[in-house]
Structure 1
Amino acid sequence: MHIGLSIPQYGRFADPELAAEVSASAELIGYDSLWVGDRLLVAAAPRSRYPGGDGTAPAEQQVFLDPLTILTVAATATSRVRLGSSALNALWQPPVLLARTLTTLDRVSGGRLDVGLGLGWSRDEYQAAGVPWAGRGARLEETLDVLERVWAEGDLVEHQGAVWTVPPSVVRPKPVQRPRPPLLLGGFSAATLARVGRRADGWLGAALPVPVLRQMWRSVQQHAEQAGRDPEALRLVVRVNPVLTAEPAPENQVPQRGTFGQLLGYLTHLVGALGAELLVDLHYAAGDAEEYLALAGDLHDALRKEAGR
């Protein structure tokens, strides 16, 4: 069982010192990976609905630390755990700059980086970043092309595409991990699932009913087979952002809401049914830093106990 934990990054937990403390403690507890998310802004009059709840972005997301900076904090506070993004918006900076930052982070961490990329959902964030909303899928495909070329072996990097041009250039150093850091893609559209199967190392899912996730995961695997790839080599990472309650929640609200036992049941079912890697985000479950760490320890112990049965 692979168990991941969110790094304190937003809302009341947006504190770099706390991020370092929790990262180091999570590694000692035995967590396998640490993760960040990505939020640029929360628009006062949003043009896009938040993909969850009533469509309104949680107030906690109005305060959000930069994901790659916080991953760097975690890298320097740890020595073993994997470090990932779920998910970094891939299109808010040119891919050559993104490749340089990710390469540096992979080297700072000693080759522990998992590159999780997505397209986001907010038109307002795209407008603020100066990136067109239309054509996001094609821009992501070209972004992946550039990342792969920059990270590949060889003396020169060159790319000529619809959006970006990289003249024949020396771009060094390369990442520690070869041929590249693991590349995971998030999203739920048919095009995204096909893209994961064709060219990614795994899929970043979310806390949906297990039958729904199973159907989507099968689609990813089928696309991998069609592309001549080994579907069994792909990873499935599922992010869960629970609100813990004292009384049991209706089953249709689990795992978004529920008791500790209901959350534990969903997570163990997810692993048993799909072999998923877990990513538990405690930003909405904990009231303060002390509870954040206590919950992290209790959850890890309970999951390991369930895995040993």
Structure 2
Amino acid sequence: MRTGFAVPQFGPFADPRRSARTCTALEALGCHSLWVADRLLAPRAAPEGYPGGKDMPARYGTHLDPLIALAAAAAATGRVRLGSSTLNALWQPPLVLARALTSLDLLSGGRLDVGIGMGWMRQEYEAAGVPRQGRGERLEETLDVLDAVWCSDPVVHTGRLWTIPESTVLPKPVQAPRPPVLLGGFSPQALERVGRRADGWLAASMPQAHLDGLWAVAAEAAGRAGRDPAALRRVFRVNPDVTSSAADPSEAHHRGTVRQICDHLRTVCTGPADEVLVDLQLTTDSSEQYLDLAGRFLAELA
């Protein structure tokens, strides 16, 4: 099973040199991929939409920029895939985003996986000065611009939100025709978009019945678009709450012993393109703890 880990970038891990050293060590342990996340702020009051209506973990208020953290990870490694889960793509113009992502693909020697989403927090949209209304349409045009920049020469785009006159935009990414694009989201609209135009889905570890219902939407959309659903990647993120003794089996998709959580991950990873992303930043407080627990997950999932 392909297993990846979060690039350390939040709370006590928000130190670029420490993060880079940990990425080097994670690659040496044998992981397949490393992934950054994206937060602008952590409201003191519970934000709308946060799971369970709880306050966000305080450490999300201390963070490294995801693209800079990914550049540091690229420089500190030589083999692992490097991705974002997820990069909130709507907070910057897509032409600017395309330039940064192209540079990352070049820096990494063609190891970039572009995982993007729309974000969910109203306060972050307000702070970024980007309208939250119409974000689905904004994401669709963002994907159009990325494709134009990466796959066309010259580049030209005319849309409702952005216009690019016929232009030279070089260099192109190492990966042809472009880096893989994976999309996040858990609504029917998001899964339809995954099936219709993405290379895969940034999923989450969840109960099997819920997963099956969501994935059916993407598979049906892929079929309607003349695409093979079996070719789509699925990356199952888990932010594990690791316990020393067995937890309730109904919680094993996110809470329990390492073996319990891994047993669930083995159950949901059924396709040849499926993989796991384990984020240990809410579970550990030091690089030593992070690497020790990462080694346990890798050994169990091997």
For normalisation by structure 1, the TM-score amounts to 0.94
Aligned residues of 1:4 and 1:280 also touching (Cα < 8 A): yes
1:236-251 residue pairs with structure 2 within 5 A? 236-251=234-249
Q: Counterparts of 1:213 and 1:102 in 2: how far apart (Å)? A: 30
Q: Select between 286-295 and 144-153 the one with higher mean Cα deviation.
A: 286-295
Aligned residues of 2:7 and 2:19 also touching (Cα < 8 A): yes
1:33: which partner in 2?
Answer: 33
Q: Counterparts of 1:275 and 1:75 in 2: how far apart (Å)? A: 23
Aligned residues of 2:232 and 2:273 also touching (Cα < 8 A): no
Q: Which structure 1 residue ranges, 5 or more long, are not aligned?
A: 305-309
Q: Counterparts of 1:60 and 1:274 in 2: how far apart (Å)? A: 35
Q: Select between 109-118 and 6-15 the one with higher mean Cα deviation.
A: 6-15
Q: CA deviation at 1:119?
A: 0.6
Q: CA deviation at 1:45?
A: 3.5
Aligned residues of 1:214 and 1:274 also touching (Cα < 8 A): no
Code of the aligned partner of 2:102: T
Q: CA deviation at 1:62?
A: 1.3
Q: Counterparts of 1:69 and 1:56 in 2: how far apart (Å)? A: 27
1:5: which partner in 2?
Answer: 5
Q: Select between 41-50 and 288-297 the one with higher mean Cα deviation.
A: 41-50
Aligned residues: 302
Q: Counterparts of 1:233 and 1:257 in 2: how far apart (Å)? A: 30
1:132: which partner in 2?
Answer: 131
Q: CA deviation at 1:26?
A: 1.4
Code of the aligned partner of 1:199: R
Q: 1:234 aligns with which of 224, 232, 239?
A: 232
2:100: which partner in 1?
Answer: 101
Code of the aligned partner of 1:207: S
Aligned residues of 2:259 and 2:300 also touching (Cα < 8 A): no
Q: CA deviation at 1:40?
A: 0.5
Q: CA deviation at 1:128?
A: 0.7
Aligned residues of 2:194 and 2:201 also touching (Cα < 8 A): yes
Aligned residues of 1:49 and 1:56 also touching (Cα < 8 A): no
1:201 equivalent in alignment to 2:199: yes
SS in structure 2 of the partner of residue 229 of structure 1? coil
Identity of paired residues, percent?
53
1:307: which partner in 2?
Answer: none
Q: Structure 1, residues 94-133: CA drift from partner, whole Å, max 9, x if none?
A: 0000000000000000000000000111111001111001
Q: Counterparts of 1:53 and 1:261 in 2: how far apart (Å)? A: 25
Quick one: structure 1 residues 24 and 82, their matched pair in 2 at CA, closer, same or farther if it must change by over 3 Å?
Answer: same
Q: 2:278 aligns with which of 277, 280, 305?
A: 280
Q: Select between 40-49 and 11-20 the one with higher mean Cα deviation.
A: 40-49
Q: Counterparts of 1:292 and 1:284 in 2: how far apart (Å)? A: 10
Q: Select between 8-17 and 73-82 the one with higher mean Cα deviation.
A: 8-17
Code of the aligned partner of 1:109: S
For normalisation by structure 2, the TM-score amounts to 0.96
1:43-62 residue pairs with structure 2 within 5 A? 43-45=43-45, 48-50=48-50, 52-62=51-61
1:235-274 residue pairs with structure 2 within 5 A? 235-272=233-270
Q: Counterparts of 2:54 and 2:89 in 1: how far apart (Å)? A: 23
SS in structure 1 of the partner of residue 237 of structure 2? strand
Q: Counterparts of 1:233 and 1:189 in 2: how far apart (Å)? A: 21
SS in structure 1 of the partner of residue 24 of structure 2? helix
Q: Counterparts of 2:75 and 2:205 in 1: how far apart (Å)? A: 30
SS in structure 2 of the partner of residue 239 of structure 1? strand
Q: Counterparts of 1:301 and 1:47 in 2: how far apart (Å)? A: 37
Aligned residues of 1:49 and 1:55 also touching (Cα < 8 A): no
Q: Counterparts of 1:44 and 1:66 in 2: how far apart (Å)? A: 20
Q: CA deviation at 1:34?
A: 0.4
Q: CA deviation at 1:206?
A: 0.9
Q: Which structure 2 residue ranges, 5 or more long, are not aligned?
A: none
1:184 equivalent in alignment to 2:182: yes
Code of the aligned partner of 1:280: V
Aligned residues of 2:192 and 2:218 also touching (Cα < 8 A): yes
Code of the aligned partner of 1:255: H
Q: Counterparts of 1:301 and 1:221 in 2: how far apart (Å)? A: 32
Q: Select between 55-64 and 131-140 the one with higher mean Cα deviation.
A: 55-64
Aligned residues of 2:262 and 2:300 also touching (Cα < 8 A): yes
Measured on the aligned residues, the alpha-carbon RMSD in Å equals 1.4
Q: Counterparts of 2:166 and 2:270 in 1: how far apart (Å)? A: 48
Aligned residues of 2:45 and 2:55 also touching (Cα < 8 A): no
2:19: which partner in 1?
Answer: 19
Quick one: structure 1 residues 196 and 298, their matched pair in 2 at CA, closer, same or farther if it must change by over 3 Å?
Answer: same
Quick one: structure 1 residues 190 and 285, their matched pair in 2 at CA, closer, same or farther if it must change by over 3 Å?
Answer: same
Q: CA deviation at 1:60?
A: 2.0
Code of the aligned partner of 1:5: F
Q: CA deviation at 1:252?
A: 2.6
